[in-house]
Structure 1
Amino acid sequence: MRPEDSQGGQRKRSFIEEARRAQIIEAAIQTIADVGFTNASLARIAERAGISKGVISYHFSSKDELMEQVVIQVYTSIAEHVGPRITAAPDARAGLRAHIRTVAEYMRGHREQLLALGAIFTHSLTPEGRAKYGVAGSEPVYEAIESLFRNGQEAGLFRPFDPRVMAVTVQAGIDGMFGYWAAYPDHDLERHAEELAEAMDRATRAEPAPAP
């Protein structure tokens, strides 16, 4: 049997159950980063966590569900780290720079999470054989950046452009930055983030008003 939630006929998980799930998710991240997605069996994840495979099955119905929770947990952690920095920025232009810099800062300290996400995105497929975590999976990220651009345009800080197009462009730049760093760990991630932030600022900022 698995712990049930209070809604939909299921009970709310206890603190101990939540802690155990977090432990399993962290072990899954470490195992995938170490041996790859295909070799990260539930048995290996359980060994890494110092528990039995049956404990994982108690909390997660399958490897697929565990992988989904890994993705959710990592994205939640990133949002919790980056969100306050953007909110604290004095304006939308500074918020855009903060977004790019702070995501890089977070990933610098969580490389295993980056490697695990990359492996999950590559190998997770829908029943139809399509990538489970494709562009559509980034919709919340696009919406957040798009909202930042719209606010900045309303404040006159950004030039006129399609906020969705630019949001996709910014995220593509961030994804490319992390992909390169994953392949070349000695790459200067912070410098890359600074260059990307500067390029995106130059591409989006409003032109100064002509002198009278």
Structure 2
Amino acid sequence: MTKIVVGGRLVGMLEVAVIEEPAAAEASLDPMRSRILAELVEPGSAVMLAGRLGVARQKVNYHLKELERHGLVELVEERRRGNVAERVYRAVAASFVISPVALGAVSPDPARAPDQLSARWLVALGARLVQEVGALLGGAARAQRRVATFAVDAQVRFASAGERAEFAEELTRVVAELVGRYHDEGAVGGRVHRVVVGVHQIPERDPGGPVPMAGAGGAVDAEVGQEDR
């Protein structure tokens, strides 16, 4: 069975699943299979999906078997209609994220070229975040425990590039101060936590809109050792 790391939950299903194995990632990226996964947020059979997607039932059945083989969908019910058994499936999650683990040796490594003003470094930090939190979720699922995490999501509109630069400098000082205050290298039983703070321009919705300026992304990356709460 393909390893899928689970995240939060919706009623009756997972909210997010993090895919770690290359074969499962490839299966989820197939256009028809991704459409099937989207449809199966609500349970459905091959007959129902064939009608919605406008393709032959046999073709849908083939894709369903592949998705089931990789653990992306699950059988929730089997109905008997005369001599025919109708299998009803549901996606294991409402949405999926592919972990950089699936890319193997070509997955991003933030340590290669750390640069606070590089948007590519910010992407590499984000990729590592998915990889590390995905691994934590996998271990927590096996141990039937929850993962202690914390996140802040905010938006800020800068009047100028200068103010953005001042914001980044002040944010760096504040984070460094907090890390210095709470980091305890000798804490018995303490666990190292990673703190990542990123700033990036929100992409324009209009495809013909302006391209974000170089240097618009910034990030602060730090490691903090503290007790789990």
What's the TM-score, normalizing by structure 2? 0.32
Find the structure with the greater CA-based Rg. 2
Instruction: Report the structure, 1 or 2, having the larger helix content.
Output: 1
Instruction: Report the structure, 1 or 2, having the larger strand content.
Output: 2
What's the TM-score, normalizing by structure 1? 0.34
